[in-house]
Each structure stands twice: as C-alpha cells, then as structure tokens.
Structure 1
Amino acid sequence: MSQDVYRDAKAIAGRLAVSGHVEDSDRIVQSMRYGSTGTEILMDLRAQLLRVKEHRLSSGLKRSIEVLIDRIDRAIA
C-alpha cells in the first residue's frame, strides 16, 4: 500500500507544480525523499497535504488530496 501512497503523492505533487504551487510540490517530494521511516514519511506527507488542501485548488485536485489523506490515516491507524 505504501507504494501506492507514494505514487499518488508524486502525482499530486506534479499536479500542484503544473497549477503553480511549485513550493508545495517540492515539499511533498522532499517528504518522501528525506524521511527516515515509512511512518515518518506518511506523517509528514499528511501534514503537507492538510496544509495544501486549504489553498485554492481545482475541485478534482482537492478531492485527490482528501482521498490520499484518508488512505494515510488508515495506514497509520
């Protein structure tokens, strides 16, 4: 499952970059690149996604972020 989360997080990061949120995109990628453990990576991704979700985003991108946050919550529960 974690590989799916990482794949989806990378896809969201790409969509954020295309929509002009390059710094947010970079933070998401850095969370995956520099985290030490799977749990640390998931917790940091969750925090980044929660913050980004509050930006003005397309409804589709916002929904993708919400779905990924839910999947992360289930993974770390």
Structure 2
Amino acid sequence: MFPAPFRLFFAAVPLLVAAGALAMAAFPRRMARWNLRSADGSTQTLEPSDTRIILMRVMGVVVAGLALFMLYASFTIFP
C-alpha cells in the first residue's frame, strides 16, 4: 500500500490530463489559434483547418479516456 502523497499523485495527474484533453476537445479553435505580430504593429490570426479541428476533438476524447482508464487502473492495481 502506497502512502497518501503517492496515492494523491496517482489520482491528480490523470485528472489533470483528462481535464486538459477535454478542454482541447471542447475548445479546439481557442487552444490552437495563433496571433502573429509584424514589425509595423499589425496582427494576423492563424487558425487551424477543419480537418485539424476534427482530429483535435477526437484525440482530446481519446486522451481523456486513456487518462480516466489510468486513474481507474491505478486504484485497481494499487489498492
């Protein structure tokens, strides 16, 4: 049996990864938007293509699922 700080680590890390991945899946345009500033002070916004947005959503859900499975497995393996 692991001490409490290790159990907290094995619970907090997958939850943070899952939260970040779900944020990426929910807001892919906001997470991947770039603002470029030129020498004259004007700005230009670069946004990803629609294919990249779809892939970001799918991968966000997959990574969140794996992180939650890791959380479940860590408490099953390390009671």
TM-score, normalised relative to structure 1 = 0.40
By percentage of residues, which structure has more strand? 2
Larger gyration radius, structure 1 or structure 2: 2
